């Protein structure tokens, strides 16, 4: 059995380095950007035509939180090629598997993270806004200099949850023909008839990657909490 | 000079400001007193647009702001640039060091360069007696120290007026004294101030002018001497209650 592990582990790790890790990181970064803008749009006090943009932001969050990620992947990769619009997409929207995966993962995690960021901004005491307003700061400056730095600290644990979930959810990319870690383990299991060993092995790799993230979360929490008096 | 006329503000069915008119002379300290819920906080917060009266006029020198109309952001920013607010709860920025708290406004709003802002911030912290606390975070300060930092933060903006909303109400008497000494010193330097307070002894020392507010209306508006020698029974009762005279 040791032989099985030593020969297949490098293949699984290679798939992890080639797909799982890059897809996770790129999707999370894009997702965070989407999340920040979505949260800010939803918290904006602007009125007029802006309420349409707010409604779109709310619809987006609802849509991606209310449907399964696997179904979203299928719609984007297998479904969108059939979305033929005269003049715009005469041949449907066709994407490479990795592009479809990153797009879907980004939008999915972005929806969840936007709620995290929105809640963290709302958790900052109103007095912080008032103090900054009275100094004469504008709303964008207050957000950038006063509110978001404090909100970041609050949002780190739930954002880390989302990131860790995303890493594991990339295993669903196997279903849209991406040869990531889980897909590789399936292929090897089909050849050597050792499903227990192979799936346990791939589970260990996911756990390893997520452990690194947990450690990173701990480190970032320490850095961003240096101004808080520790509670014993 | 700063002046308001016929301010009205309601919260639900409660009239917090009932047709209030008052003037706040330059280079003087105006102290606003009155029972809790009388509208004094609403009044001082309105002066910095943290509350919006439904109607009335706000005069700042020759600027006339009609509060019954929509006031644009530029006007509000303009007023806030010339005034500063000190809060009962300090509202220091917890993620910034004491020095950075004082530097933040000058750098972000007045566009001063970092070195200049730091230099002045050090001077101001020395002035409020906290030179050695420049590099600590606000959570490591006592209430009295935090409030003195907040005062330094407001002074760094070189405001024409400083509004202080019950600046010492959260402090025990010893810490309160630290803050009051600083405020007295600033008042002596002819900084225009408006202070809401419950401390009558302090009001008597620092005020040039007193305003007594009750139920959203002004019952007294005049020189400090007159206030403490008034024969208005309501005010006499109020002062004796606040100073525990007939306990």
* Mean pLDDT of the residues in chain A: 95
Instruction: Search chain B and give the residue with CA nearest A230.
Output: B139
Residue B247 confidence (pLDDT): 75
Residue A85 confidence (pLDDT): 87
Instruction: Search chain A and give the residue with CA nearest B105.
Output: A135
DSSP A141-158: HHIIIIIHHHHHHHHHHH
Residue ranges of domains in chain A, CATH in brackets: 22-178 (1.10.3720.10)
Residue A230 confidence (pLDDT): 65
Q: What is the ipTM of this complex?
A: 0.94
Tens of pLDDT along A54-104?
A: 999 999 999 999 999 999 999 999 999 999 988 888 888 999 999 999 999
Residues of A in contact with B140 (CB under 8 A): 229
Residues of A in contact with B73 (CB under 8 A): 138
Residue B116 confidence (pLDDT): 96
Q: Which of B50, B150, B153 faces A133 most closely, judged by CB atoms?
A: B50
Residues of A in contact with B165 (CB under 8 A): none
Residue B198 confidence (pLDDT): 93
Q: Which of B89, B137, B150 faces A227 most closely, judged by CB atoms?
A: B137
Would you state the structure tokens that stand for residue B229, as one six-digit string?
Answer: 């020698």
Tens of pLDDT along B157-166?
A: 999 999 999 9
pLDDT confidence band for A231 (50 / 70 / 90)? low
Mutation to test the B interface, candidates A131, A153, A228, most B Cβ within 10 Å: A131
The C-alpha R_g of chain A, in whole angstroms, comes to 21
Question: Which stretches of chain B score pLDDT less than 50?
Answer: none
CB contact under 8 A, A135 and B91: no
Sketch the domain layout of chain B as residue ranges: 2-242
Q: Please state which CATH class domain B2-242 belongs to.
A: alpha beta
DSSP chain B: -EEEEEEEEEETTEEEEEEEEEEE-TTSEEEEE--TTSSHHHHHHHTTTSS--SEEEEEETTEEEETTSPPPHHHHHHHHHHEEEE-TT----TTS-HHHHHHHHHHHTS---HHHHHHHHHHHHHHTT-GGGTTS-GGGS-HHHHHHHHHHHHHTT--SEEEEESTTTTS-HHHHHHHHHHHHHHHHTT-EEEEE-S-HHHHHHH-SEEEEEETTEEEEEEEHHHHHT---HHHHHHHHHHTTTT-
């Amino acid at each position: 059995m040791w032989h099985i592990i030593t020969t297949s582990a490098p293949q699984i790790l290679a798939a992890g380095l080639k797909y799982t890790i890059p897809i996770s990181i790129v999707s999370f970064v894009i997702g965070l950007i989407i999340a920040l803008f979505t949260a800010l749009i939803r918290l904006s006090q602007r009125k007029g035509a802006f309420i349409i943009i707010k409604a779109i932001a709310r619809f987006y969050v609802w849509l991606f939180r209310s449907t399964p990620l696997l179904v979203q992947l299928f719609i984007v990769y297998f479904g969108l090629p059939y979305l033929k619009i005269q003049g715009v997409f005469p041949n449907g929207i066709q994407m490479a598997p990795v592009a479809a995966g990153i797009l879907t993962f980004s939008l999915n995690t972005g929806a969840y993270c936007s709620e995290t960021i929105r809640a963290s901004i709302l958790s900052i005491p109103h007095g912080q806004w008032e103090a900054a307003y009275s100094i004469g700061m504008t709303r964008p400056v207050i957000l950038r200099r006063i509110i978001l730095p404090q909100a970041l600290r609050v949002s780190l644990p739930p954002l880390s949850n989302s990131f860790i979930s995303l890493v594991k959810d990339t295993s669903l990319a196997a279903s849209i023909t991406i040869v990531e870690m889980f897909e590789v383990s399936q292929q090897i299991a089909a050849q050597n008839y050792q499903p227990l060993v192979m799936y346990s092995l791939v589970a260990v790799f996911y756990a390893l990657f997520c452990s690194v993230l947990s450690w990173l979360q701990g480190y970032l929490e320490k850095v961003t909490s240096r101004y808080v008096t520790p509670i014993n | 000079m700063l002046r308001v006329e016929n301010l009205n503000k309601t919260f639900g069915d409660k009239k917090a400001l009932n047709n209030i008119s008052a003037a706040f002379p330059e280079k003087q300290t105006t102290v606003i007193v009155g029972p809790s819920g009388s509208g004094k906080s609403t009044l001082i917060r309105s002066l910095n647009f943290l509350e919006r009266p439904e109607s009335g006029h706000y005069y700042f020198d020759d600027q006339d702001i009609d509060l019954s109309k929509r006031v644009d952001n530029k006007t509000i920013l303009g007023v806030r640039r010339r005034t500063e607010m000190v809060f009962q709860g300090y509202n220091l920025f917890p993620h910034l060091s004491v020095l950075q708290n004082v530097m933040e406004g000058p750098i972000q709003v007045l566009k001063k360069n970092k070195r200049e802002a730091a230099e002045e911030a050090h001077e101001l912290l020395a002035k409020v007696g906290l030179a050695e606390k420049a590099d600590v975070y606000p959570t490591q300060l006592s209430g009295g120290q935090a409030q003195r930092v907040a005062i330094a933060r407001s002074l760094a903006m070189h405001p024409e007026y400083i509004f202080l909303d019950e600046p010492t109400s959260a402090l025990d008497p010893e810490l309160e004294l630290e803050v009051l000494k600083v405020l007295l010193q600033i008042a002596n330097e002819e900084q225009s101030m408006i202070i809401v307070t419950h401390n009558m002894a302090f009001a008597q020392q620092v005020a040039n002018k007193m305003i007594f507010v009750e139920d959203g209306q002004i019952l007294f508006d005049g020189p400090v001497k007159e206030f403490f020698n008034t024969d208005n029974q309501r005010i006499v009762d109020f002062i004796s209650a606040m100073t525990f005279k007939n306990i």
